[in-house]
Amino acid sequence: MGFIGAGNYASVHLLPHVKSNPVAHLRGLVCSTGPSAKQKSLRWGFEYCSTNVEDLLSDAVDVFRSICGSPITSVHATGARSDEQSGANADNVTLTLTFENGSLGVLNYSTLGCRDLPKERLEVFGGGRVAVLDDFTTLELLGGPKPTKIKSGKQDKGQPQQVAATLQAFRDKRREVIPIAEIVEVMAAILLAQKSLADGTVQRVVASDYYPSHPVAPEPESGFVAS
């Protein structure tokens, strides 16, 4: 299998599980710079390395796409900046996604806070109910018969299960865990978000421009708002 990117997240959470899986055969690694690609390909045992791919997918957009269950139709990115800056600050960004079924996804990424606040928080609103996942350690469910709060002793983002399911699908030649058309759609949204951040415009996402056979997903009964 090939791997795009081997930064801190991949090196800590993904590559160890891939390397330890007996069905994995590590072929190629793509990083943004030659020295990094070479060093990390040797570390993890890839057969070759390259620098041909510069842009990587965003996990958060993948999560929104999965929760909403509907194609992304537009993306708008805005960046906070100080008085001394002339352009948008890519380190402090709000990304707004609209979906075909009317759902909204809002991603807030900031380096302006402090480490006392947990790093990641996901809130989902829909059908009169709310789900809040706090730093992948606490899940709170509201709007049901009674409020529910589930705590985990350690952070669990599901990377081992993700790697195992993907490798098993490759081995058995089954349908991919995430359809390739959906992966292309998310990548298109990320690339258009960069353009939106640069010029301030709302960018329309037309997945068929990037993947002509992109299917139209059935519309769920009601929309969601994820943030």
Domains of the chain: which residue ranges?
2-50, 59-226
88: its two tokens: 């948008």
Per-residue pLDDT, averaged over 38-60, amounts to 65
Using one digit for the tens of pLDDT, what is the confidence trace for 188-212?
998 898 899 889 999 999 877 776 6
Written as one letter, the residue type at 106 is V
Give the model's confidence band at 112: pLDDT under 50 very low, under 70 low, under 90 confident, else very high.
confident
User: What is the model's pLDDT at position 219?
Assistant: 47
Helix (H) / strand (E) element for 203: namely strand 203-204
- Say whether pLDDT at 21 is over 80: no
Strand partners, 132: 123, 140
- Give the least confident one: 36-50, 141-155, 190-204, 206-220: 206-220
Q: What's the fold here for domain 2-50?
A: Rossmann fold (3.40.50)
Average pLDDT score over the chain? 79
Q: Which residue has the higher pLDDT, 26 or 125?
A: 125
User: What is the model's pLDDT at position 105?
Assistant: 95
- Say whether pLDDT at 110 is over 90: no
- Give 211's contacts (C-beta < 8 A, 6+ positions apart): 180, 181, 184, 185
User: What is the model's pLDDT at position 70?
Assistant: 93
CATH, range 59-226: 3.30.360.10
- Distance from C-alpha of 36 to C-alpha of 51, rounded to nearest angstrom: 9
User: What is the model's pLDDT at position 69?
Assistant: 92
Q: Are strands 138-142 and 148-151 parallel, antiparallel or unpaired?
A: antiparallel
User: What is the model's pLDDT at position 14?
Assistant: 78
- Say whether pLDDT at 117 is over 60: yes
User: What is the model's pLDDT at position 83?
Assistant: 61
